[in-house]
A and B are shown apart, each in its own frame.
Chain A
């Protein structure tokens, strides 16, 4: 009976947390709270959450070491950029090389362009996946990394479609933060449902032991391609949202270093933990901003401290990463999901320890 009441409380806590979250975002959104900077950082965190969770589906749950996330994001981002910029602004943007006459006529609503971007990403993932997913571990990582670079170079050179290295400006901005948070909640929910379905179990079986999974009648190749394509779909969606948040895209944004941000997030959160990934996305995105004061010159007691200059932030960040890999190899949550049981048991352990200490005194 006590157990049941406890469970009931937990449900109540969940609802309260959800309401607080919705209220907080709405307050921000209606400008009762925070400023544009905070809104922007949190929206970016929401986008990073979508992409990281999709990457975790591929890397953490299916066990495919793929580093192509930046490439898939680029596909989604450019689809949104190409199709949502108002027609009258096109000529001013494509002033060096004219836009492809067919594309120059097409304007799509944001939602359609966003989904198209995701689908295009998934299609490319299937085409690449068919040869590449026969590879394993580090070979797969190299192949997907190469793919992501190929996408970037195509974007730089297909000038009549992408405006080359100049990028595309003037992507309409979103009127509300809820676009990002709504899509985030939807994507995470869909991925969680997928992971808990029989497909999700098959993905995990492949991660654990390919031979045993095959002996159970799981089609390895089909499931790998499926996971890869679904991951690419959500990365494409994330890329599309990023394009509309920033209002501009250019090929340099999608360097392979971008993929490392997501890799860092899923390693920090725990490979194979959705809740860990969500938490880590916010920690990393906000952390990267908070650490920004390391990039500015600092004068302490009349001394100009020499290390504080542009780029030092990344040194600190790398050091944190090394500490993480050395001491918390499983990340925040490992393969577990955050639950009330976990939180209460953690607190219980703490109070127990305190009691023990008290007893010793």
Chain B
């Protein structure tokens, strides 16, 4: 569904992504793990069109979308759940959801209902200002908002950031559920353990290069990954 070929991204003179190749098959969950500054967020932001690549190709459903504007990319069916949630704090939950469907011309009542079915908590609080929600609820809202665009591919940037472990479990359950409903997911995580458990396939990114790849299970068992990201116990 999504193919990335030899992607390079520079910020000024500093290169953040140095020629990565990866592919996201349809209806799968693919995860990109790595430490801080490895270039994970940059990769996502480049796919979403928020950052322009210096070279390389991004192909979505057979179409080259490299360097296109974010609006066109969202319209083609890729949405981003930004890092740190970034809900519109002074707008109500319902307004947040409606903004997520901004590019859709048709009626959005069904989508709102679907999101409320997925997150009953949001329905209870639909008139509350998003800024007054708890962190976990805000993350639900950010995911729900992204779903409102009816995406084919949803990209999540660190959805577990700053959340309590119990809520993190809930978020990963939801990710699996969204995937079951037919949406492809590209997930970025520092919480490698959790991410690899839900992922069909994973890539390990180190300082702008992909150093390892494999199915979620393979990577979970891989010694190097264990050492670097999973905090294996060498007792």
Chain A residues engaging chain B, CB cutoff 8 angstroms? 198, 201-202, 204-205, 207-209, 211-219, 272, 335
What are 24 A-B residue pairs whose CB atoms fall within 8 Å in the complex? A198-B98, A198-B102, A201-B99, A201-B102, A205-B91, A205-B99, A207-B90, A208-B88, A208-B89, A209-B87, A211-B50, A212-B87, A212-B88, A214-B50, A215-B70, A215-B74, A215-B79, A215-B80, A216-B100, A217-B70, A217-B79, A218-B99, A218-B102, A335-B90
The tally of residues in B whose CB lies under 8 Å from a CB in A reads 24
Roughly how many angstroms separate A216 CA and B145 CA in the complex, as a whole number? 8
Q: Which residue of A lies closest to B130 (CB)?
A: A208
| A202 x B99 contact (CB < 8 A) | yes
Roughly how many angstroms separate A90 CA and B94 CA in the complex, as a whole number? 57
* Residues in chain A near residue B90, CB distance under 8 A: 204, 207-208, 272, 335
| B48 x A216 contact (CB < 8 A) | no
Is B163 an interface residue, CB under 8 A from the partner?
Answer: no
Roughly how many angstroms separate A317 CA and B71 CA in the complex, as a whole number? 47
| A213 x B99 contact (CB < 8 A) | yes
| B74 x A216 contact (CB < 8 A) | yes
Name the prevailing secondary structure of the B interface residues: loop
A236 CB to nearest chain B CB (Å): 29
A221 CB to nearest chain B CB (Å): 10
* Residues in chain B near residue A198, CB distance under 8 A: 98, 102
Name the prevailing secondary structure of the A interface residues: helix
* Residues in chain B near residue A207, CB distance under 8 A: 90
* Residues in chain B near residue A214, CB distance under 8 A: 50, 70
| B71 x A217 contact (CB < 8 A) | yes
Of the candidates B75, B87, B91, B98, the one whose C-beta lies within 8 Å of that of A217 is: B75
B69-96 to A contact mask, C-beta < 8 Å, 1/0: 1110011000110100011111100010
| B82 x A217 contact (CB < 8 A) | no
B107 CB to nearest chain A CB (Å): 12
Is B212 an interface residue, CB under 8 A from the partner?
Answer: no
* Residues in chain A near residue B50, CB distance under 8 A: 211, 214-215
* Residues in chain A near residue B95, CB distance under 8 A: 201, 204
| A217 x B88 contact (CB < 8 A) | no
B219 CB to nearest chain A CB (Å): 28
| A211 x B86 contact (CB < 8 A) | yes
Is B32 an interface residue, CB under 8 A from the partner?
Answer: no
| B98 x A215 contact (CB < 8 A) | no
